[in-house]
A and B are shown apart, each in its own frame.
Chain A
Amino acid sequence: MRQTLKTLLGGLLLSALPLCAQEPASLDKAFGVASQPAYVKHYEADKTGKVILNPYLQVATKDFPAILDVKMAPYNWVIDAQGRVAITPEAAHPLGRTYEKGFFRPEDQSERKPGTRENFGHVSALGGAPGRISGEILYDKATNAWTVNNKSGRYSKHNSDRTPEQLVNAANLIHQVTDPGKATWGGVFYLLDYAPEKVREELLKSPKLAYDDAKKKSRPHVVVMDAGAPSIKAEKPFEMVAAAPAAETAAAAKPADKPAAPADAPKKTKKPKAANNDDPS
């Protein structure tokens, strides 16, 4: 009897295993396999080899959404191994330098422009850990909207499985767990320069293929999602009900966070750029 029970329980456990194992597999399908960063730049790790986290890091989940601030743009995003979205703004890295005369970057054999500053990159959102598809969230002032792309030299490029569908999945997740603040959601751009070779070849024949500058054929891309995704709000405005002692001060009755003034209406519509610049970091 005991043996029969053991067998039954064992069978039940075994049958449940594939279900347990489904989660990482479905994340792999939705956002690409979590892979090591293509490289870590010389300034991104300290002397002990620890990759320093970006101190503005937000890890967005439905329970704790991230908040975007136009003053902090542009942002980087990465889907981590657990399927969460790590979001960091570009900021100068304390161990980085500014190269007044430009420099040669060994990771991608590129010449960087004079005045290039070494910023926190995508690896500083995960401390160098493996990540899934990744890119940028850019603020387009003309439309007062955030666009999303797949521009990451660390986690998107150099991977054979980063597809437009994964970018759509990631953008949907970002839209669900990120408060766009005073702006709205713009389009989602799949950049061919960060695509696996096969996908790139196919999309170069696509009627949807577009460029930031058609004459120069710069930044080939395909818009994979149009603007207008619904926005979530991470927090409601809070007005302090003035407590007796605080009321003694002139500013006490006023909330610190004043309701935002409506954003200026765009004067003329200009197509948002697909990428912030051509730095493939």
Chain B
Amino acid sequence: MKKTLIKNGTLALALLLAAAVSLPAAAQTLLPQVSVLKGERNFWSGYDPVNVDGTVNVVIEIAAGTNAKYMVDLKSGMIELEQKNGAPRYVQYLGYPCNYGNIPRSVLLKSRGGDGDAVDALVLGPSVPTGSVVRGRAIGILSLMDTGEKDDKVVVVMENSPFASVRSIEELDRKFPGVTSILQTWFTSYKGRDKDGKLYLASSGFKGRADTIKFIGDAVLDYENSIVTDADRRPLDEKGNPYLYRWPGAKNVGE
């Protein structure tokens, strides 16, 4: 854990329910400690999605074992407790089986069949607090459909955790029996059933690493392409050719 990159956000709003600590344990699970978490940086745009060692960064929204449905608000860049029908949202099921978050600077465009949000990630490792930014390796995708909408989740093994050496879904299943079933069962079941008795969420299983690399890369490029304007590009000369760019860490051949 020492080397794991964890950056706790600072609390933006005062603790809403400081008295919660004195409440019985059962009541505490229904009450948030904070409703908004402001980080040192924007949780969506302020962190790199990938690192030079090939790992990905994940902003943790929901700590493993908890029920409060925190999520990064893409407009404010803060982590907020989701509101549903005017009330804070808690998952009415067992606590999350793993840390849950998203990959910063990524977007699943609706035009590509996504939900318009960042790439969701299931982070396997010890429970870490909401607002942490952890590094890990993406080993697969849990394919999910949420009432007819694609809702795939990337499976990430956290650095310096017991899962760190796992390099595929098959290996995860072999080395940690039951984890793949737990993930699939939990994520297909936590929203319950519709009036016909069918689960709202459906899963077709897991995808492998080649699909995962493309999924993350496409979403990161879609994010970058969605924010870049001509003003971000270096100007061209009067003939429409690029200027030679001098970068301090390069030999700058051509000067």
Contact = CB atoms under 8 A, between A and B. Distances in A.
Given A252-B202, A252-B205, A59 B214 contact: no
Contacts of A52: 224
B253 interface: yes
B250 A36 contact: yes
Contacts of B228: 94-95
Contacts of B250: 36-40, 123, 128
Contact of A240 (B184, B189, B245, B253): B184
A35 B204 CA distance: 47
Nearest to B247: A40
Contact of A38 (B53, B54, B217, B253): B253
A55 B216 contact: yes
Given A94-B221, A107-B254, A252 B210 contact: no
Given A39-B252, A127-B52, A94 B225 contact: yes
B137 interface: yes
B52 A129 contact: yes
Contact of A245 (B189, B234, B242, B252): B189
A55 B49 contact: yes
A63 B159 CA distance: 13
A256 B205 contact: yes
Contacts of B221: 55, 91-92, 94
Contact of A56 (B206, B207, B217): B217
Nearest to A106: B244
B206 A255 contact: yes
Interface in A113-164: 123, 126-129, 158
A146 B244 CA distance: 34
A40 B168 contact: no
Contacts of A51: 247
Contacts of B211: 256-257
A41 B242 contact: yes
B214 A256 contact: no
Contacts of B51: 53
A240 B228 CA distance: 40
A37 B254 contact: no
Interface string B193-236: 00000110011111111110110110011001100100011100
A107 B253 contact: yes
Contacts of A256: 141, 143, 204-207, 211
Interface string A232-272: 00111111110111101111101111000000000000000
B239 interface: yes
Interface stretch (A65-73, A197-205, A221-229): A65-73
A252 B203 contact: yes
Contact of A64 (B54, B181, B188, B202): B54
Contact of B167 (A38, A65, A91, A245): A65
Contacts, number: 206
Contacts of B253: 38-39, 107-108, 158
Given A240-B206, A246-B203, A42 B242 contact: yes
Nearest to B137: A64
B241 interface: yes
Given A38-B253, A41-B245, A57 B214 contact: no
Given A126-B52, A128-B247, A129-B52, A234 B217 contact: no
Given A49-B248, A63-B165, A240-B184, A99 B171 contact: no
A45 interface: yes
A254 to B, nearest CB: 6
Given A39-B254, A128-B250, A45 B245 contact: yes
A46 B231 CA distance: 11
B217 to A, nearest CB: 4
B160 interface: no
A166 interface: no
B254 A251 contact: no
Contacts of A238: 140, 168-170, 173, 180, 205-206, 208
Nearest to B249: A128
Given A56-B216, A99-B240, A103-B240, 5 more contacts: A49-B248, A51-B247, A69-B214, A128-B249, A249-B204
Interface of B: 48-54, 137, 140-141, 143, 145, 165, 167-171, 173, 180-181, 184-185, 188-189, 198-199, 202-211, 213-214, 216-217, 220-221, 224-225, 228, 232-234, 239-245, 247-254
